[in-house]
Amino acid sequence: MAGRKVSPNLELNRIVDERRAVGESLVHLGFGEARLPVFAPLARQLAAGAAYNAYGPVAGGLPVREAVAGYFTRRRLPTGPDQVLVAPGSKPLLMGLQHVTGGEVYLPKPAWNTYAPQAALAGKRAIGVPIPPESGGIPDPAVLREELRAARTRGATPGMVILTLPDNPTGTIAPARLVREVCALAEEYDLLVVSDEVYRDVIHDPATEFLSPADVVPHRTVVTTGLSKSLALGGWRIGCARFPGNPLGRRLRDDVVAVGSEVWSTLAAPMQEVAEYAFSEPPELRAWLGRAARLHGTVARAVHALLTDAGASCRPPTGAFYVYPDFEPVRDALARRGVTDSPSLFAHLLDEYGIAVLAGHQLGDDEGALRFKAATSLLYGPTREEQQAALDAEDPLRLPHVDSVLTRLAESFAKLTA
């Protein structure tokens, strides 16, 4: 098809690889990957699963769906295996949901760079609604209300709102009060709520309050998640969705299964073995998840500190592995370097400091704003040994390879805003 573009984060990987191939030293902060070694029992599960070479049911086999149902049930959401689908990543499940539903799609602004293109692929209009000051991952309820009213006045049909909890790109978790407010609007305007919880197990402080829309409006919420982020298994492609246990949920699930039957057929059988083990959450796996979340939090907070020291404003990160700074407070200093908007900030960081980030406008944010996303999980070192050391360290910030890249970032941002 003409005019299609590669997703900007994947395109950035290509640019970074090209520049590195000619010897440039780059700090790549533009790709949302956990960058940790595979937890050994998962690899053993995968090897054992190699014996399974038959196609299986599109929705996934019963054992893996039971494991996923248990995972949700332990999170206050009683779930049966017939409410669950597994697939090669949560991305295709999100696309499937776009295909089988109608109406306009409401997104936080900024949001993960795939939601809007997926809506467009499904022939739908996506509307970015600015996030509130408290957190990202959720449209500001007051603005969302205005947008929904305006849609009705236009004669349009609002169809779906997508929330990201915890959030990519801001690394924050929407407070319960805001989740409730958006759920109330979903009720009023009959919206399907899609709660993307792929970072659900990357909450830095386990005491942080987390409210899923499925707790509030279970009859109209589909939750998606997967193992790409929490267990750093992006390349293994394991995702799942939980549908409401009512006629709407059954209709949506059947329709997404129908899409899956024509597109991906089934989650690869060996991956179902991995997923069954992971979603049953044995103690050793929980311990690994806890260590990984602590590491993500420690490094994200360190990057947050160096950015705010340099004069940016930035919501403190509490989940996932991102920060989303805003250089508006130092706009004048940046203007002296020819940096006046999101594209020029991106280009300047790459060309002058060798720092690759994902520019805010690539995430649906205003092009005139001085914002970007940095994935701090890419700072644990390029080798498996360094990454394992970061995971095992009492204080990862004291590891020389982590310290040196943080120092480079601190010096670069201090220079940028001097």
Residues contributing to the site for ligand PLP (CB under 6 A): 32, 89-91, 112, 164, 168, 196, 198, 226, 228, 234, 239
We find the least distance from the C-beta atom of residue 417 to ligand PLP, in angstroms, to be: 28
Least CB distance from residue 236 to ligand PLP, whole Å? 9
For ligand PLP, the closer CB: 128 or 311: 128
Nearer to ligand PLP, 200 or 253 (CB): 200
What is the nearest approach in angstroms of ligand PLP to the Cβ of residue 241? 10
Nearer to ligand PLP, 196 or 365 (CB): 196
Which CB sits closer to ligand PLP, 178 or 271?
Answer: 271
Q: How far is the CB of 84 from ligand PLP (least distance, A)?
A: 15
The two tokens of residue 152 are 């009705």
> Please, what is the minimum distance in Å from the beta carbon of residue 334 to ligand PLP?
27
First to last CA, the chain: 46
For the CB of residue 136, give the shortest distance to ligand PLP in the complex, in Å. Answer: 11
- Which residue has its beta carbon closest to ligand PLP? 89
CB of 407 to ligand PLP, least distance (A): 28
Nearest CB to ligand PLP, comparing residues 228 and 417: 228
Q: Which is nearer to ligand PLP, 32 or 110 (CB)?
A: 32
- Which one, of 204, 210, 135, lies nearest residue 169 by Cα? 135
Residue 130: its H or E element: strand 126-130
Closest listed residue to residue 320, CA positions, set 183, 172, 127: 172
Rounded Cα distance, 345 and 331, in Å: 11
C-beta closer to ligand PLP: residue 45 or 113: 113
Residues 6+ apart with CB under 8 A from 397: 298, 299, 302, 403, 406
Residue 91 or 304: the one with the smaller Cβ distance to ligand PLP is 91
DSSP state of 141: H
What is the CA angle 115-118-121, rounded to 5?
Answer: 155
Whichever of 79 and 224 has its CB closer to ligand PLP, that residue is 224
Give bridge partners of residue 194 from the DSSP assignment. 162, 222
In the bound complex, what is the minimum distance in angstroms from residue 348's beta carbon to ligand PLP?
Answer: 25
Residue 116's closest CA among 138, 94, 135? 94
Q: How far is the CB of 115 from ligand PLP (least distance, A)?
A: 8
**Between 30 and 226, CB nearer to ligand PLP:** 226
Per the CB < 8 A criterion, the answer to whether 417 and 312 are in contact is yes
Please, what's the b/e burial string for 372-382 (b: 16 or more CB within 10 A of its CB; e: otherwise)? Answer: bbbbbbbbbbe
Separation CA 54–CA 81 (nearest Å):
21
Give the burial string for 86-123 (b: 16+ CB within 10 Å, else e). bbbbbbbbbbbbbbbbebbbbbbbbbbbbbbbbbeebe
Output the smallest distance, CB 260 to ligand PLP, in A.
Answer: 14
Task: Give the long-range contacts of residues 22-26, CB within 8 A, separation 24 or more.
Answer: 24/354, 25/354, 26/350, 26/354, 26/355, 26/356
Cβ 200 to ligand PLP, closest distance in Å?
A: 11
Between 32 and 139, CB nearer to ligand PLP: 32
269: CB partners within 8 A, 6+ apart:
49, 52, 53, 54, 55, 56
**Quick one: which of 26, 19, 20 has its CA closest to 379?**
26
Asked if residues 375 and 321 have their Cβ atoms less than 8 Å apart, the reply is: yes
